Structure 1
Amino acid sequence: MKRIFLIILSVVVLTTMQAQEAAAPKWRSKAMKAIVSVLTYDKEGNLMNSGTGFYINTEGVALADYNLFKGAYSAVVVDAKGEKSPVKWILGADDTYSLVKFKVDTKKNVALTQAEAPSSEGAMVFTLKYTKEKLTSCPSAQVSSINTLADNCPYYTVSYATDESYLGAPVFNAKGELIGTTQASMGNNGYVLGIGFADTLSIKAITTKVNSMALENIHIAKGLPNSASESLVYLYMRSSSMANEEYLDLLNLFVETYPDNAEGYFRRATPLIDLHRFDEADSDLQTYLKLSTEKALANTKVADIINTKLVYQPEPPYEKWTFDLALDYINKALAEQPDIMEYKMLKGQILMSKKDFKAAIDHYDAINRSKDRSPEVYYAASLAHEGAGDSLGVQIAMIDSALAMFSTPMPAEAANYVLRRGQLHASAEHYRDAVNDYNQYCFLSNNKVNTSFYYDRAKLEQKAKMYQQALDDLTTAIGMSPQAAVLYIEKCALLLKVNEIDECINTANKLLSIDPQNVNAIRILGYAQTQNGEVEKGKANLQKAADMGDASAKELLKTIE
């Protein structure tokens, strides 16, 4: 009897298997060509995770479960033929619905056909995962219910719960059309995220914290947003945080994606210059000029980038780029749009960079005789006169003309002009005028000045014999930078000069409490003590400084003895 039961059971199992095989969708083998194995690796190149992914277009764009990629530094896919291809870009990620979109570096691939309409309740759906086996299991289920996510994306509950090996695997309707991707099961139910959700996955120029974290947790290079305009914003925002080579990869992608967009070529020239690939940079600038519709602006930007390279990156030289070439470009821009002030100022900057100060002076004077005269132009003219070696009086006169254009009382934007005049007065040894300008600068800056300002003003006040003001400024500077030894030494020297011996000793001791081996403080303390009746203590400190190699202390000891 038992034998008969086993025979019957075997027949039932065999019949069931044959029925499942017969019922397997005819489109299965075709679909498997678009399904890949995804392998992700950590920073050291160790395998982290493996799972199923699938292509959604013939340009190498694929989807997979987000958790495969979380923490990964690199990834590869293995297709149905066993060929490996690296994952080049991450194109979007969502850790809530555990989906990642990525670009595979492959020349040719088969893609799944997406359903034009979502499946309905009661419809049969099928799931496939990557496998090397020829007879691939194809779990089927019935749609139990449908919820709707944002952007009218369906979220299906199905009657069959798949295991974890199916996470991120594609789900099909009876026609073999892609309707979604497998989510984590719960109990006896399975869940399918509608394929339309993939359209919401993209790189954003400005992202929410949640989306940003999902992407940041994947350490593979990110692609670009979906539009040229947003991509340019994204490139700008990423330019300061990426290495030149990494940034260049993104720019190459932009140029490849939008070959007729002039801005991509201009943007790419900058990292190429930084990498000393000057011929490529020049070629990109020429393409930029050719594609640009605003020729005057384009010529100006090319003039500026050449001038910037020559000034800030003179080595290694690139013989093709000269200040005269930059002038040619800016003159072309001015010939087309002669009234644009930014273009005029750039020409002045290039003349200054070329050290053709006479031409720069003539250029600025011509502007100042026109309706475009401004404080900025007078300031630039002052610098040009300085470069030409003209008198301080002429330079000061330019700043006076600039300041005369401001309203009374002067606005905060006049502060730098006042400071420039103060510095010129200091060079001309007009110390009280210089102090007055420094005072006005401080007022216009709402007293938001740093330690260096107080130190510089104190030195001017000493030269102007305004000793109490100088002491006050040095005290303020010490309060702002209590570790700066030079401030204590400067104050001690001034205290000695005005015969404030006790305060000099106190200041020197404060410095020595911070820096016990400061030889200048030891020498000053010793000398001050000799002047304060503590001759033996003073001589001991002077001797200590002399033993430390201080020549001035040795000379002072001779005078005391």
Structure 2
Amino acid sequence: MKKFSFSIILFFCFSFTVLAGQPSWTKKMSKAVFTLKTFSADGELLGSTSGFFVGEHGEAISSYAPFKNAAKAVAIDESGKEWEVEKILGANETYDVIKFRVTIKKSQSVELATANPALNSPCWILPYKGAKSLVQTKILKTETFNTDYTYFTMSLQSPLDLVGCPLVDESGKVLGLIQPKNSEGDTLAYAVGAAFAEQLKLTGLGLNDPALRAVHIKKAIPDDLNQAQLMLLMAGAQDSLTFATVISDFLTQFPKEPDGYVSRAQQSYSYGHFDEALQDINRAYELSPQPNYLYQKGTILFAQDKYAEAYDLYQSLFDSSVRSADLFFMASQCKAKLNDSIAQQALLDSCVAQFSRPLLKEAAPYLLVRAQVRLQANRFRDAVADLNDYEQLMKSQLNDNFYYIRYQAEVGGRLFQQALNDIEKAIELAPQNEFYYAEKASLLVRVGMYDDAITTSKALIQLQPDYSDGYLFLGLSQCLKGEKAEGIANLQKAKELGDTQAEGFIQKYK
């Protein structure tokens, strides 16, 4: 009994000695330190470390490494309560630090030191629940990095895992964040300046930062509006979920800025949710009456088949800052949908007129559309002129279909030699397309080049023996050349293969 009492006395004496030797700030600061666990998307534990709060609303810093590939992280405070990491505020993989915010409403934060202590000054490392395990050390070396920040080297022989814990000076102010040792058994400890970790923040380009992309937890929107707008722009190139998340956060943070509504309108439009898109673009225009928002509204109205409304909106912008080839083109499309081909052609003329000569490639799509519209309106030579300009701009990217379209325009405009050149070019690019041979043979017959028509027709028959056009044009050419017996025999073959014109020619030439 006496021995047991003596042990109790020794225990209390020892405890008193440890507590009496601790700095006065230990208990308060212990509330700012937490242990942290990270998890993959399927719930697997990835890693754990320590960290501490640097702000009163859950802002905290810790080691970056455990966050790599993490989809979830929780901070566990001194009392054992878990707080989920809500948003990443910044990260630097080189110095193994990350800043984030947890879902706690109010947090006990540390105070950062504004000056470094002298070398060999005593300092402490405060572990999670560290009131009874405070580790004393001393500064052996300081190095400056990134101009304004300090990297600390200390003596240390503690067996505790102290990575992510705060390095604290005699006054209770935090100097740094403890980093991993260089090797097992290392008697030195290292800390990156806490001020460096605390100042980390996301920029507009943050979504493309490899260190941040490797963390699959939501990223915060930058506080600076310009940077937030840049992030919103960059998010458009990310997956749709990331884009939607950034839009939502931007609108929460900047509800009076039109950019968030415009981005959401664009995403709604891409999903075919036109009513929602229209509502958001109207809201953006209310906040900032810019012509380009009206232009986007016109695009939404067009998608809703409200062509007259869309045209009126486009027309109101003809003399605005958004006057462009695309504006006139969209207006022409409205008129096409309203079956007003005269207005459509006039608007396409205005569209192409937005480009000066020599033309650049940007004009090519509009030239091609106008050529096709002119072709449909029987303005054949005008269509050829547009297609000639298009050819000059897109020479290396032309296919057989282009030459066939121009061939049609040239035939309509009675430019027969040019038409023959183009149908031959189409055959050169698509030598197995029997339709082109038939078109060539037909034109050769029309211009009286019967020998060439016979040669082309025979080539067509060799390519496709069951294609009636080969026999039709061969027979017709032979009849016109005076070889009626052979010609009628080939016309008869065309008839047997189902050609409905052959019988009329047989009756004419027999």
**Same fold, judged at TM 0.5 (above):** yes
Mapping of 1:80-119 within 5 angstroms? Answer: 80-119=78-117
Partner deviation per Cα, 1:167-202 (whole Å, 9 max, x = no partner): 121111122221110012242211111111114422
Letter in 1 for 2:196: F
Counterpart of 1:524 in structure 2 is 467
Partner deviation per Cα, 1:458-498 (whole Å, 9 max, x = no partner): 4445655555323333245439xxxxxxx724334335643
Shift, 1:501, TM fit: 4.2
CA distance in 2, matches of 1:255, 1:427: 48
Counterpart of 1:482 in structure 2 is none
CA distance in 2, matches of 1:373, 1:248: 31
Task: Tell me the secondary structure at the aligned position of residue 383 of structure 2.
Answer: helix
Which residue of 55, 58, 61 corresponds with 2:56? 58
C-alpha contact 1:376 1:402 (8 A) present in aligned 2: yes
CA distance in 1, matches of 2:377, 2:210: 58
Letter in 2 for 1:201: L
Counterpart of 1:488 in structure 2 is 433
Q: Does 1:34 align with 2:17?
A: no
Indicate the larger mover: 137-146 or 164-173.
164-173
Shift, 1:66, TM fit: 1.0
Mapping of 1:239-258 within 5 angstroms? Answer: 239-243=236-240, 245-258=241-254
Distance 1:353 1:451, change over 3 A: farther
Counterpart of 2:309 in structure 1 is 354
Mapping of 1:117-516 within 5 angstroms? Answer: 117-131=115-129, 136-161=132-157, 165-186=161-182, 187-206=186-205, 212-243=209-240, 245-259=241-255, 261=257, 263-268=259-264, 270-271=266-267, 282=279, 286=283, 292=287, 295-297=288-290, 300=291, 303-312=294-303, 352-354=307-309, 386=336, 389-390=339-340, 392=342, 396=345, 415-416=364-365, 418-445=367-394, 447-449=396-398, 452-461=401-410, 465=416, 467-475=419-427, 477-478=429-430, 488-494=433-439, 497=442, 498-499=453-454, 500-501=456-457, 503-504=459-460, 508=463
C-alpha contact 1:204 1:230 (8 A) present in aligned 2: yes
Counterpart of 1:544 in structure 2 is none
Distance 1:405 1:112, change over 3 A: closer
Counterpart of 2:481 in structure 1 is none
The alignment's TM-score, normalised by the length of structure 1, stands at 0.67
Partner deviation per Cα, 1:493-542 (whole Å, 9 max, x = no partner): 33564341454366x4xxxxxxxxxxxx673399679979xxxxxxxxxx
C-alpha contact 1:523 1:553 (8 A) present in aligned 2: no
CA distance in 1, matches of 2:296, 2:349: 32
C-alpha contact 2:88 2:217 (8 A) present in aligned 1: yes
CA distance in 2, matches of 1:19, 1:135: 13
CA distance in 2, matches of 1:407, 1:275: 36
Percent identical? 24
The higher-RCO structure (CA 8 Å, 6+ apart) is 2
CA distance in 2, matches of 1:149, 1:373: 51
C-alpha contact 1:457 1:473 (8 A) present in aligned 2: no
Counterpart of 2:508 in structure 1 is none
CA distance in 1, matches of 2:496, 2:80: 83
Shift, 1:164, TM fit: 7.4
Shift, 1:435, TM fit: 2.7
Shift, 1:78, TM fit: 1.6
CA distance in 2, matches of 1:313, 1:373: 23
Letter in 1 for 2:426: L
Shift, 1:74, TM fit: 1.3
C-alpha contact 1:272 1:281 (8 A) present in aligned 2: no
Letter in 2 for 1:419: L
Distance 1:373 1:354, change over 3 A: closer
Shift, 1:161, TM fit: 4.8
Distance 1:28 1:471, change over 3 A: same
C-alpha contact 1:162 1:185 (8 A) present in aligned 2: no
Distance 1:284 1:353, change over 3 A: closer
CA distance in 1, matches of 2:262, 2:363: 35
Distance 1:311 1:396, change over 3 A: closer
CA distance in 1, matches of 2:275, 2:340: 37
Partner deviation per Cα, 1:296-332 (whole Å, 9 max, x = no partner): 42xx465445444333367xxxxxxxx7xxxxxxxxx
Task: Tell me the secondary structure at the aligned position of residue 161 of structure 2.
Answer: helix
Shift, 1:102, TM fit: 1.2
C-alpha contact 2:299 2:310 (8 A) present in aligned 1: no
Shift, 1:97, TM fit: 1.1
Q: RMSD value over aligned CA atoms?
A: 4.5
Distance 1:97 1:390, change over 3 A: closer
C-alpha contact 1:269 1:281 (8 A) present in aligned 2: yes
CA distance in 2, matches of 1:46, 1:173: 37
Indicate the larger mover: 464-473 or 270-279.
270-279
Shift, 1:32, TM fit: 1.7
C-alpha contact 1:492 1:524 (8 A) present in aligned 2: no
Letter in 1 for 2:214: N
C-alpha contact 2:235 2:242 (8 A) present in aligned 1: no
Distance 1:138 1:525, change over 3 A: farther
Counterpart of 1:320 in structure 2 is none
CA distance in 2, matches of 1:92, 1:412: 42
C-alpha contact 1:270 1:281 (8 A) present in aligned 2: no
Distance 1:214 1:161, change over 3 A: farther
C-alpha contact 2:232 2:250 (8 A) present in aligned 1: no
CA distance in 2, matches of 1:236, 1:432: 45
Letter in 1 for 2:388: N
Counterpart of 1:535 in structure 2 is none
Distance 1:423 1:108, change over 3 A: same
The alignment's TM-score, normalised by the length of structure 2, stands at 0.73
Task: Tell me the secondary structure at the aligned position of residue 467 of structure 2.
Answer: helix
Task: Tell me the secondary structure at the aligned position of residue 153 of structure 2.
Answer: strand
Counterpart of 1:555 in structure 2 is 498
Distance 1:275 1:494, change over 3 A: closer
Shift, 1:56, TM fit: 0.8
